[in-house]
Structures are given as structure tokens and as C-alpha cells.
Structure 1
Amino acid sequence: MNIIKITALVGLATLVSACEDFQVTQQGPDKSVDRGIDKKHLSQLEAGIWVDPNGCDHWIIDDGVEGYLSARLDKYGKPVCSGVAPPTQTVGDFKKGSTGLIGDPV
């Protein structure tokens, strides 16, 4: 019985160890690099704005394989609620082939 448990534990540890194939910094995974096929830095991708149900803005990037979303904050760390679009709508050319029109669904 113990040999079965040990074998299962070693097999599980081997499977889990293969999950992290990207660079890890002291704070965790480096999320400033696009992990898709094109391997571009996020600063090279076009960001759009998605307005949440409360009316506050979020930066959004979609390269077709991965997507990124983060709150749009002012210099004091408070949410920006600009009214650039109705709630739950997007603005900007944030994905390949996007028309970038107001009202594109997320």
C-alpha cells in the first residue's frame, strides 16, 4: 500500500513541476511579456478601454490567444470613471481585426 502512495506522489510531483515553463521573478511570473505566439512585449500591443457595470474604466488587450485586463487608475491609485462609453462596452482597437467601435462586446 505504501509503495502505491509513494509512486502516486512522485508521479504527481513530476506532472506539476512541468507547469511552470516561464520566467519567474521574485514577485512571481513576469506578466509584462506576451506569452502568445508572437512573443511581443505588452507595450507593443494596442490597448482599449472596457467600462465595467459601475462605469469605471479598465485597460484591455486581446491578441487572439491571450487577454489582459487591469483597472485604469489615476496617479493617486483611484479608479478612473471617465464616461467614455456606456457600462459593459468597449472603446479602442484592442484586438486583431477589431473595428474598434463603441459597443463591441467583450
Structure 2
Amino acid sequence: MNTLKIGLALVAITALAACEDAQFTKNGPDKTVDRGIDRKHLSQLEAGIWVDPNGCDHWIIDDGVEGYLSARLDKYGKPVCSGVAPPTQTVGDFKKGSTRIIGDPI
């Protein structure tokens, strides 16, 4: 029984240790920071476009560890529905988001 308790305690300590790097702002967690192993800012990652079932665009980034999705909006805050792809399809090299270096040609 003691071995089981020690094992469970080690698992709990290890799980809590992963929370140590969380970056918070006054409004909660900072969601602009990539928490994967590469530690790049989201502005350094390459986004693709996913078209929702209604035909509107969403920015999408997948660096293999985490994924991000955000509605693509015009300067007035309205959804962009460009028709760049059929509904539920994606365009762009969003799965290699973590490999792009600023200054690289797109």
C-alpha cells in the first residue's frame, strides 16, 4: 500500500511540475505564447486558412504539439469569407508552423 501511495505522489508531483512554466497576464493565461518545446511567439509561426462549413475563413496553426484556430476578421470585425477553398478544407502550410523563421520567403 505504501508503494502505491508513493507512486501516486510521484505522478502528482510530476504532473504539477509541468504547470510551472505557465505565463499569466492580469486577465488569465497568455494565449499569445507557444508553450511547445520550441518556445516561439505565435507571430513567428506560419498560419494556414481553414474554411468552416459556412464558407468563412479561420487562421490555423499546428506545430505538432499545440494547435491554434482563430476567426479571420476584416478591419471592421466581420468574418472574412474569401472562397479560397471549399468548406471544411484547409490551405497553406500550417502544419510546419514551428519551422518558419522570420525573414524566410513564404
Question: When the two structures are superposed, what TM-score results if normalisation uses the length of structure 2?
Answer: 0.72
Give the fraction of aligned pairs with identical amino acids, expressed as a percent.
Answer: 85
Letter in 1 for 2:70: S
Name the larger-Rg structure. Answer: 1
CA deviation profile, 1:75-94 (whole Å, cap 9, x unmatched)? 11110000000000000010
Q: Distance in 2 between matches of 1:83 and 1:91?
A: 11
1:95 match: secondary structure: helix
The one-letter code sitting in structure 1 at the alignment partner of 2:28 is G
TM-score calculated relative to the size of structure 1: 0.72
Which runs of structure 2 are paired with 1:27-106 in the superposition (5 Å)? 27-96=27-96
Deviation at 1:23, TM superposition (A): 1.4
Compute the displacement of 1:28 (Å).
1.1
Task: Name the Cα RMSD after superposition.
Answer: 2.0
Q: What amino acid is the match of 1:26?
A: K
Distance across 2 between alignment mates of 1:96 and 1:76: 30
Higher helix share: 2
Q: Which 4+ stretches in 1 moved above 4 angstroms?
A: none
What is the total number of aligned residue pairs between the two structures?
Answer: 83
1:13-71 deviation line (CA, Å, top 9, x unaligned) = x98xx474311101111111100010000001000000000000000000000000000
Work out which structure has the larger RCO, using CA pairs closer than 8 Å and 6 or more positions apart in sequence.
2
Secondary structure of the structure 2 residue equivalent to 1:76 = coil
Aligned mates of 2:83, 2:42 — CA distance in 1: 25
